[in-house]
Structure 1
Amino acid sequence: MDFTGTLISAFPIVLLIWLMTKKQAVPSHIALPITALLVGLIQLLYFQADGRLLVANSISGVLSVLTPISIIAGAILLNRVLALSGAESVIAQWLESISTNAVAQLMIIGWAFAFMLEGASGFGTPAAIAAPMLVGLGFHPLKVAILALIMNSVPVSFGAVGTPIWFGLETLNLSQEQLLDVSSQTALINSVAGLVIPILALKFVVSWQLIRNNIAFIFLSILSCTLPYYWIASWNYEFPSLIGGAIGLVVSIFLAKRHIGLKAHENDLPRGKKVEFHKLALAASPLVLLIVILIVTRIGQLGIKDLLTDTSHWLGIDLGGTYFSISPSLVLSVEHILQTSVSWSYKTLYVPALIPFLLVVLIAIPVLNMSRAKAFEAFVDTGRRIKLPLVSLVGALIMVNFMMLGGDNSPIFLIAQTFSSLTGDSWSYFAAFLGALGSFFSGSSTVSNLTFGGIQQSIAEQVGLPITLVLALQSVGAAMGNMVCINNIIAVATILGIENKEGHIIKQTILPMVIYGVVAALVGAALIVM
């Protein structure tokens, strides 16, 4: 076990966390590029990495920023269109008419609605849509950002129609029965954690007294999502979050309208006025269209997903050993960057930037009767907001590429190997935290599963733990890591117009993540005994 290599590998991460969370925090657009440069130097000087490979990974990191930044830009643009057109205020007024109770609104939008969106799309879409709606209702942007990150964890294991499971674990050669076993155990662990996590999230926005007064509604709203979520996961790993969230949203609205489980009155928000149906339908039409397009384009059985993700060759050009190509569905690919094994691709029509965000915006502008000046203002404001996050994300993605460079001798692999060597057959208590580490680095539960799934499987075999349970804990950890993922934090902060608070957000979300991990460890231990 290479302790020296592990310490050197972990140093940049420790430095990054310190820079972003110290009293006078360093903004992410400075801290992340510095960390990426440091990891690059470590790779070059300590790990003796090939210089060309480092440059190729840098290029890949810069190109890869197109995915998150285009999604962020699309989400901000839609939000600005809804706000400047007045549609956002109409939707907020309708939500107040359902219930003026702050807890009810937070659970309906921040929990159930976001749960469903995660199941349909992933890619940070839930926070991008739900968080601005909550801010529009009058909640504090920074508190909403923290709540959105914490709430959007339980459904992530089955986000984007189950992609983290069926794609994230595809390289492990698991049987269908084993995959369903991983799916079921993942949902069970997440569901148990789900009894605690939303309450911790609410505490950042409202008082304990208000939470206690409305605890019955909170638990009913939680269970309305997690019970169908767990039931579906036992026989399907694509739709638990999507269907669970949809059922939970309907049930939560029903409960709120009838004041079931809602007992607080003195802390309610101002009484909302009823909104005429045609005004609500017009204002909500962009969001309804957005959700419909997300669902239709993400369900493989409908055939549209295959059309949008077709990677077959259409056009290509050889750039001196580096090959650039475009597929019929406009998937952009760069292979053998600088004549190395490094590659990059961007699914232009599948990444939810052009479809549905920009498409919905272009439809919404005339539907909502926006003036040319207002529409122009929305685009300009979007461009202004994404400048610094663009720098932050470039730094983050280059750092991730450098951390993963080297295979079994990569910094990230050394950190994971040291953890497993120190814990032995007690690994089940720590497996989820390795999954969270993967999400922290990569910004994706799918990438975390792809990166660490093989390591988790190998550790389980070596120490004699059930493989499917350890993989379930990996999947749970990848989901809970969403709370502290730098990419997600930058995204939601940018969408809400919050500047230089990334370190503060990490400090606030890390404790709920640790609690989540402890719950996962205890449930995992119980499942081993059973």
Structure 2
Amino acid sequence: MNYTQVTDPLNYLGLSALMAALPILFIFWALIIRRKKGYQASLLTTLVALLVAVLLYGMPVKLAALSTLHGALYGLFPICWIIIGAVFLYNITVASGQFEVIKNFMASITPDRRLQALLIAFSFGAFLEGAAGMGAPVAITAAMLVGLGFNPLYAAGICLVANTAPVAFGAVGTPILVASQVSDIPDMAISQLVGRTLPILSVLVPLYLVSLMAGFRKSLEVLPAIIVSGVSFAFFQWLTSNYLGPMLPDVIAGLASILCLMLLLKYWKPKTVWRFQEEPPQTLETELRYSSGQILRAWTPFLIMTLMVIAWGLEPVKAALNSLGHVKFMVPGLENMAKADGSPLVVKPVEFNYLSNPGSALLLAALISLPLIGMRYAEGAKVYLDTLVQLKFSIVTIASVVGFAFLANYSGMSITMAVSMASTGALFPFFSPVLGWLGVFLTGSDTSANALFCKLQYTSADTIGIDPLITVAANASGGVTGKMISPQSIAIGAAAVGLVGRESELFRFTVKHSFIMLLAVCLLTLMQAYVTPWIVPAYQLMEATTTTAVSDVSAGFLYITALTVLIVLIALAVVLLNRKRIKLA
């Protein structure tokens, strides 16, 4: 079945762009005015997009349905597969009781409220964002701070603000992976540019947090800790995103920031311990109640996860695993589509790399960790089923949003909107982060915002002659600043600290900071486009792939062997240290 994309179906670009934007306007209306749940709004938006594609753009019904199905398949695998693995690994640490050990360890490091905010809201929250995402970081860290005696409003507010820096790399890099799938720009290139933008915010956020709590003068009393926390996080965020890829910047930078701050506090303490004037009763134990062996055991799932995700990111390992199992096919019926100029429309194949996919690494890390943290596999299976139930609506939302994104790309809706938006000309890079901010505000997810707008960002930038990578990365970077005022995030933060019904207070607390940080990202994006274009990494579109050399396969198996040995050594250390503790007891 043949189809040629249409750019201006109504022969009046402004009106055509308005009609092409109808699904996006609809999701705004559904979420803000009708206050529908995310999955309901996403499914209805996809239906509206189908109607626009068929009735206005003349796309055959079968092609429109297949385009949506193609996108939904990408939403389910690899995107949802990665999220399920990440949340499952986090859930087994909670179900096994090991997360209580981690919380006690974090709470025992310092009694100073300013330093606790840095450690828990900023560093530990970033680690949790990288490991699981999905609202868990704000809920967990805010509840921990309240347990330590923080004012509930401040606890939720600073955790929402702190969650800004890591969001683009959340849930083991899912937002960047989605941006790559939608825009056809390699995820490594997007990771690199986002990793050259957000570290500037990361350096400033710790000072911002402490100043919000205690005022600027009191923040200067802990300036060494602020510098160590922010600079260490920003450095490792830059290093990991630029040299390892989008999956581990938050995990590694969060851990590095925690360790660097702990090392500083071993040799330096603030002259006075600062607390709130009127504090609620403390309910969280701050005396360290666990041995080093128990602490290592609690962190083991995340340690194994980090090693496995690093290994899975190596090209030889991917080649080795793909040689054992890899299915690749085209969606039948999508072969004969053309762009508006008559050139063939490139349609990506569905790639079922079920062994080399990062989600499989996460699942395997969780399965290896189960006996080490004291869980039976039957208990792990129950946690996995509970995780699927927990994420069922998120899975529907992601599949439908990515389905809509693919339909908009194949039908020509994205091109229509892009040509219209390109009328802002040279100022478009300044406004491009606003799209990401708006998308996250509406959906509560940088992943969903990237699925909605990254192709639009790409086409608009290409139309005005700037590198599309700049605006695609800006969508992810700008999106992080909308997370703190997203209704979903506000609801999670309020529920975690007992402020249900007072969400408006929390919104007023964060909204100003959201606009300040958005303006910073807008200015940085404008500079990348016109002042510092050298900061943009060189890359090739994903269509231009090269075949993997056979020698890479043997090297990959060698790396997997080394990884196996390393994991065995970690497991032995956990077993021996905890056996020694039992004997001493």
Query: Structure 2 length normalisation: TM-score?
Result: 0.65
In 2 relative to 1, CA 281–132 (structure 1 residues): closer, same or farther, beyond 3 Å? farther
Q: Is the Cα contact below 8 Å between 1:483 and 1:510 reproduced in 2?
A: no
Q: 1:398-413, aligned counterparts within 5 Å?
A: 398-406=403-411, 410-413=412-415
Give the stretch that moved more between structures: 517-526 or 161-170.
161-170
2:13 alignment partner in structure 1:
2
Query: Following the alignment from structure 2 to structure 1, what is the Cα–Cα distance between the partners of residues 142 and 473?
Result: 31
Q: Is the Cα contact below 8 Å between 1:106 and 1:134 reproduced in 2?
A: no
1:419 alignment partner in structure 2:
421
Listed one character per residue, the Cα deviations across residues 438-468 of structure 1 (whole Å, up to 9, x for unaligned) are 8879648699667644542441x3xxxxx46
Q: Secondary structure at the match of 1:65?
A: helix
Query: Following the alignment from structure 2 to structure 1, what is the Cα–Cα distance between the partners of residues 305 and 136?
Result: 10
Q: How many Å apart are 1:511 and its aligned residue?
A: 6.7
Query: Following the alignment from structure 2 to structure 1, what is the Cα–Cα distance between the partners of residues 439 and 414?
Result: 9
Q: Is the Cα contact below 8 Å between 2:238 and 2:249 reproduced in 1?
A: no
Query: Following the alignment from structure 1 to structure 2, what is the Cα–Cα distance between the partners of residues 507 and 16?
Result: 21
Kindly indicate whether residue 202 of structure 2 is the aligned counterpart of residue 194 of structure 1: yes
Q: Is the Cα contact below 8 Å between 2:114 and 2:214 reproduced in 1?
A: no
Q: Is the Cα contact below 8 Å between 1:88 and 1:133 reproduced in 2?
A: no
Q: Is the Cα contact below 8 Å between 1:163 and 1:446 reproduced in 2?
A: no
Query: Following the alignment from structure 2 to structure 1, what is the Cα–Cα distance between the partners of residues 108 and 27?
Result: 45
Give the stretch that moved more between structures: 161-170 or 346-355.
161-170
Unaligned stretches of 5+ residues in structure 1: 311-327, 462-466
In 2 relative to 1, CA 493–84 (structure 1 residues): closer, same or farther, beyond 3 Å? farther
2:433 alignment partner in structure 1:
432
Q: How many Å apart are 1:396 and its aligned residue?
A: 1.8
Q: 1:226-265, aligned counterparts within 5 Å?
A: 226-227=234-235, 238=245, 241=249, 247-257=256-266, 260=269, 265=274
Q: Is the Cα contact below 8 Å between 2:20 and 2:417 reproduced in 1?
A: yes
Q: 1:203-214, aligned counterparts within 5 Å?
A: 208-209=213-214, 213-214=218-219
Q: Which structure has the greater CA radius of gyration?
A: 2
Q: Secondary structure at the match of 1:77?
A: helix
1:134 alignment partner in structure 2:
141
Q: How many Å apart are 1:213 and its aligned residue?
A: 4.1
2:473 alignment partner in structure 1:
475
Kindly indicate whether residue 65 of structure 2 is the aligned counterpart of residue 55 of structure 1: yes
Query: Following the alignment from structure 2 to structure 1, what is the Cα–Cα distance between the partners of residues 238 and 270?
Result: 23
Query: Following the alignment from structure 1 to structure 2, what is the Cα–Cα distance between the partners of residues 442 and 286?
Result: 24
2:44 alignment partner in structure 1:
34
Amino acid at match of 1:419: M
Give the stretch that moved more between structures: 190-199 or 49-58.
190-199
Amino acid at match of 2:260: V
In 2 relative to 1, CA 102–474 (structure 1 residues): closer, same or farther, beyond 3 Å? farther
Q: How many Å apart are 1:37 and its aligned residue?
A: 0.3
Query: Following the alignment from structure 1 to structure 2, what is the Cα–Cα distance between the partners of residues 100 and 401?
Result: 51
Query: Following the alignment from structure 1 to structure 2, what is the Cα–Cα distance between the partners of residues 154 and 368?
Result: 30
In 2 relative to 1, CA 480–125 (structure 1 residues): closer, same or farther, beyond 3 Å? farther
Amino acid at match of 1:30: Q
Q: Secondary structure at the match of 2:333?
A: helix
Kindly indicate whether residue 279 of structure 2 is the aligned counterpart of residue 266 of structure 1: no
Q: Is the Cα contact below 8 Å between 1:481 and 1:513 reproduced in 2?
A: no
2:318 alignment partner in structure 1:
305
Q: Secondary structure at the match of 2:108?
A: helix
Amino acid at match of 2:294: K
Q: 1:396 aligns with which of 401, 406, 410?
A: 401
Query: Following the alignment from structure 1 to structure 2, what is the Cα–Cα distance between the partners of residues 415 and 238?
Result: 31
Query: Structure 1 length normalisation: TM-score?
Result: 0.71
Q: 1:290 aligns with which of 298, 302, 305?
A: 305
Query: Following the alignment from structure 1 to structure 2, what is the Cα–Cα distance between the partners of residues 168 and 13?
Result: 16
Query: Following the alignment from structure 2 to structure 1, what is the Cα–Cα distance between the partners of residues 408 and 454?
Result: 16
Listed one character per residue, the Cα deviations across residues 412-463 of structure 1 (whole Å, up to 9, x for unaligned) are 2222322221x2233342243356678879648699667644542441x3xx
Q: Is the Cα contact below 8 Å between 2:206 and 2:229 reproduced in 1?
A: no
Query: Following the alignment from structure 1 to structure 2, what is the Cα–Cα distance between the partners of residues 148 and 329?
Result: 42
In 2 relative to 1, CA 417–117 (structure 1 residues): closer, same or farther, beyond 3 Å? farther
Amino acid at match of 2:74: S
- Percent of aligned pairs sharing the same letter: 17
Unaligned stretches of 5+ residues in structure 2: 1-11, 147-151, 336-346, 533-585
Q: Is the Cα contact below 8 Å between 1:33 and 1:392 reproduced in 2?
A: yes
1:224 alignment partner in structure 2:
232
Q: Is the Cα contact below 8 Å between 1:457 and 1:471 reproduced in 2?
A: no
Q: Is the Cα contact below 8 Å between 2:422 and 2:460 reproduced in 1?
A: no
2:29 alignment partner in structure 1:
18
RMSD of equivalent CA atoms: 4.9
In 2 relative to 1, CA 238–371 (structure 1 residues): closer, same or farther, beyond 3 Å? closer
Q: 2:98 aligns with which of 87, 101, 120?
A: 87
Query: Following the alignment from structure 1 to structure 2, what is the Cα–Cα distance between the partners of residues 52 and 507?
Result: 44
Give the stretch that moved more between structures: 428-437 or 132-141.
132-141
Q: Is the Cα contact below 8 Å between 1:397 and 1:442 reproduced in 2?
A: no
Q: How many Å apart are 1:50 and its aligned residue?
A: 2.0
Query: Following the alignment from structure 1 to structure 2, what is the Cα–Cα distance between the partners of residues 432 and 82?
Result: 36
Amino acid at match of 1:66: L
Listed one character per residue, the Cα deviations across residues 47-71 of structure 1 (whole Å, up to 9, x for unaligned) are 1112221111232233233233333
2:566 alignment partner in structure 1:
none
Kindly indicate whether residue 532 of structure 2 is the aligned counterpart of residue 518 of structure 1: no
Instruction: Give the number of equivalent residue pairs.
Output: 476
Q: Is the Cα contact below 8 Å between 2:233 and 2:253 reproduced in 1?
A: yes
Q: How many Å apart are 1:34 and its aligned residue?
A: 0.8
